[in-house]
Amino acid sequence: MKISVLGCGRWGTFLAWYSSQVGHKVKIWGRKDSTKFLELSTKRQNQYLALPENLDLTNSLENALSFGETIIISISTQGFRSLCKKIESFQVSDKTFILCMKGIETTTGKRLTQIFREEIHTKNEVAVWLGPGHVQDFVNRKPNVMLLGSENIETTKFLVEQFKSKLIRFYYGQDMIGNEIGAASKNVMGIAAGMLDGLKLSNLKGALMARGIREISRLIRVMGGNELTAYGLSHLGDYEATLFSSHSHNRKFGESLVLGKKFDKLAEGVPTLQGLMILSKNYEVELPICQAVHSIIFEKQNPKKVLKNLFIRSIKFEF
């Protein structure tokens, strides 16, 4: 199968590398003014991996879209709508799209598949590829379990067959609301975990995990999804890679913030927080952990005071 990967960051480059490893013809697209694309096109490697010889690069979006039968997208969530508007101007009605980002739109609280359907008006099959795993582990042949899901089970099964390997075992995902919200919000929990690490309150990460899942399960339920999805691979399953891993950008961001250190890499949980606050208001559901992290980042409240108060709230039943 011919695959085009839109996005040449850490995860997009890995997905191109992985797709090539499992036998597909692959082309990776990046903006010509992108330093990451320039590095890949000149050195054919980044700090994580080297590109195989049969993997092509292009800075022409038209070329990438015409090449791939399946289009994998891995870019910043907040740039997704803009990219969709550009994709809409090309002939893509016969393409299957796989969205491999974990976030929601800052200004609207919209999920990625919602944005796709709003901006691209052909009836494409759209799937999400979510779950735990870091590039650093995969390139060292450390296996993990992930999730592929779409609204069409036959599409899901087809994609799993195309991408499965000994390195990644896939489960079928069916709850698009739950999986997309779960994947996005786990990044916020990762920021909270990093803050606890930085404040030497890592002993509270167990409580954060337990209460975080309950919080997000409530949101998923009122949005029309299956609350049990929060306990699956897209949310709880990704906690190890997000709340504990030294590779996690979101955890590192939270830790750096409370320690007053600069962190210059993308932490998707930050813009996601603003979208979650919109959903909290629109669906009238309380999100105390998300609200606490939001108050620290955007309202400059004292992290130690906010987080201690969060876990010493009024007594209530657990369930």
Q: How confident is the model at residue 88 (pLDDT cuts 50, 70, 90)?
A: very high
Residue 314 has pLDDT above 70, yes or no: no
Same domain, 186 and 168: no
For residues 111 and 211, membership in a common domain is answered with no
CA distances from 257 to 187, 198, 251, 253, 293 (A): 15, 8, 10, 6, 11
From the CB of residue 92, how many other CB atoms can be counted at a distance below 10 Å? 17
- Note the pLDDT of residue 309: 87
Residue type, 198: G
Does residue 162 share a domain with residue 229? no
- Say yes or no: 187 and 120 in one domain: no
Residue 313 has pLDDT above 80, yes or no: no
Say if 15 falls within a structural domain: yes
Q: Is residue 168 domain-shared with residue 273, that is, in the same domain?
A: no
Q: The domain spanning residue 303 has which CATH number?
A: 1.10.1040.10
Average pLDDT in the 36-46 region?
Answer: 92
Whichever domain contains 77, its CATH number is: 3.40.50.720
Q: Which residues of 94-128 are buried (b: 16+ CB within 10 A; e: fewer)?
A: ebbbbbbbbbbbbebbbbbbbbbeebbeeebbbbb
> Which pLDDT score, from 0 to 100, does residue 128 have?
98
pLDDT band at 135 (very low <50, low <70, confident <90, very high): very high
Query: Is residue 291 located within the same domain as residue 239?
Result: yes
Handedness of CA 254, 5, 144, 140 (dihedral sign): negative
Q: What is the rounded distance in angstroms from the CA atom of residue 85 to the CA atom of residue 260?
A: 38
pLDDT in tens, 275-301: 999 999 999 999 999 999 999 999 999
Total structural domains in the chain?
Answer: 2
Q: Residue 315: is its pLDDT beyond 70?
A: no
What is the full DSSP assignment across 105-121?
-TTT---HHHHHHHH--
Task: Assess if residue 318 is contained within a domain.
Answer: no
Query: Which residues make beta-bridge pairs with 27?
Result: 4, 56
Q: For 258-273, how does the pLDDT look when each residue is reduced to its tens digit (9 = 90+)?
A: 999 999 888 999 999 9
Q: Which of 120, 146, 173 is the last residue of a domain?
A: 173
* Model pTM above 0.75: yes
- Per-residue pLDDT, averaged over 304-311, amounts to 89
Q: Calculate the CA dihedral of residues 146, 49, 250, 112 and round it to 10 degrees.
A: -50
How many residues would you count in the chain?
319
Could you give the residue numbers annotated as active site? 186
The owner of tokens 């069409």 is: 152
Pair 149, 193 in one domain: no
Q: Which two tokens stand for residue 9?
A: 């960051």
Average per-residue pLDDT for the chain? 95
The tens digit of pLDDT for each residue in 25-40 reads 999 999 988 999 999 9
Among residues 153, 173, 193, the one where a domain terminates is 173
Residue pair 291/297 in contact (Cβ under 8 Å)? The answer is no
pLDDT at 148 over 80: yes
Residue 75 within any structural domain of the chain: yes
pLDDT per residue as tens digits for the range 187-246: 999 999 999 999 999 999 999 999 999 999 999 999 999 999 999 999 999 999 999 999
Q: Of 122, 146, 173, which residue sits at a domain end?
A: 173
Measured over the CA atoms of residue 8, residue 27, residue 129 and residue 106, the dihedral's sign is positive
Share of residues in the chain with pLDDT > 90 (%): 93
In a domain, 316, yes or no: no
Whether residue 212 contacts residue 288, with contact meaning beta carbons closer than 8 Å, is answered with: no
Its domain, for residue 121, covers 2-173
Beta strands 144-150 and 125-130, pairing class: antiparallel
